[in-house]
Amino acid sequence: MRRQDKVCNTYWPELPELVGKTRQIIILGDSGVGKTSLMNRYVNKDFSASYKATIGADFLTKEVILDDRSVTLTIWDTAGQERFQSLGVAFYRGADCCVLVYDVNNAKSFENINSWREEFLIQASPRDPSSFPFVCVANKTDLGENKRQVNRTLAKNYCDQQGQLPYFECSAKNGNDVEKAFEVIARHALAQQESEMGDILEDPFLPAIIEDRGGCAC
C-alpha cells in the first residue's frame, strides 16, 4: 500500500476531501462555438440543437474516476458574447485548467482563440503562465469537410507552438472525442490534486497530526 493510501485509509480518511476540493475547469471561446454544448455532452450526455446564449457563466460538476482515483471537476461554461462576458471574468482566477474552443467551420473563431488564451492569462495570472494547462478543442466536426474553414494542420501547429497543447477535434452533436478531450483535462486535475496531497504528506507537522489520531503512517 502506498504511504498516501495508508494515511488516507487508516488515519485521515477525510484528507482526500480536504485536498481534493473540486478542480475548476473553465471553457472559453467565441459565442456559438459550442462551449455549453460540449459541457452538456460531457456531463449530461445530451445535445440540443437550439441556441441559448450563456449569460455570465454557468457551471456543472462531475466526479470522474481514473485508475481507481476520484477527482471532482467543476466545469465553468462562460459567455462568448462580449456583452455577457464581464461576469464570467471573475471565474478565471482559481481555474486549474482552461479549455479553448473554436468552431472548425468558422475561421474567425480560430483566429480568436489566442486572444482568449492571452486574456485568460492576464485575468487569472497563474503562478507559471508557461506551464498552465490549456487544452484546445475544435468543435462541430460533424458538419463535413466542405463546410470546414480551419485546417487541422494549421490548428495543430498553433497548439505545438503554444507548448504542445493537447488538441482534439470533437463534435458535441454526435459526441465524437468529447470524452477523450475531457479525460485529458481530468488527468491534469487529478495530477494537481495528487501533487497537493503529496505536499501535505511532506508537511513536517503530519507525523504529529497522525500521532494525534492514534497511529503512525510509516
Q: Are 74 and 96 in contact (CB under 8 A)?
A: no
Report the 10 Å Cβ neighbour count for 171.
21
If the CB atoms of residues 32 and 166 are measured against ligand GTP, the closer one turns out to be 32
Question: Which of 167, 176, 184 lies closest to 140 in space, CA to CA?
Answer: 176
**Site membership for ligand GTP, residue 159 (CB under 6 A):** no
State residue 25 phi and psi, 5-degree precision: -115, 130
If the CB atoms of residues 177 and 196 are measured against ligand GTP, the closer one turns out to be 177
* Interface positions, 171-200, toward Mg ion (CB under 5 A): none
Which residues face 25 on adjacent strands? Answer: 75, 97
Amino acid at 73: L
* Interface positions, 26-85, toward ligand GTP (CB under 6 A): 29, 31-37, 48-51, 53-54, 79-81
Half-sphere exposure of 126 (CA within 13 A, CB side): 19
Among Mg ion, ligand GTP, none, residue 98 binds (CB under 5-8 Å by kind): none
C-alpha cell belonging to residue 99: 479549455
Closest distance to ligand GTP from the beta carbon of 175 (Å): 9
**Site membership for ligand GTP, residue 142 (CB under 6 A):** yes
Using CB under 6 A as the criterion, which residues of the chain lie in contact with ligand GTP when the complex forms? 29, 31-37, 48-51, 53-54, 79-81, 139-140, 142-143, 171-173
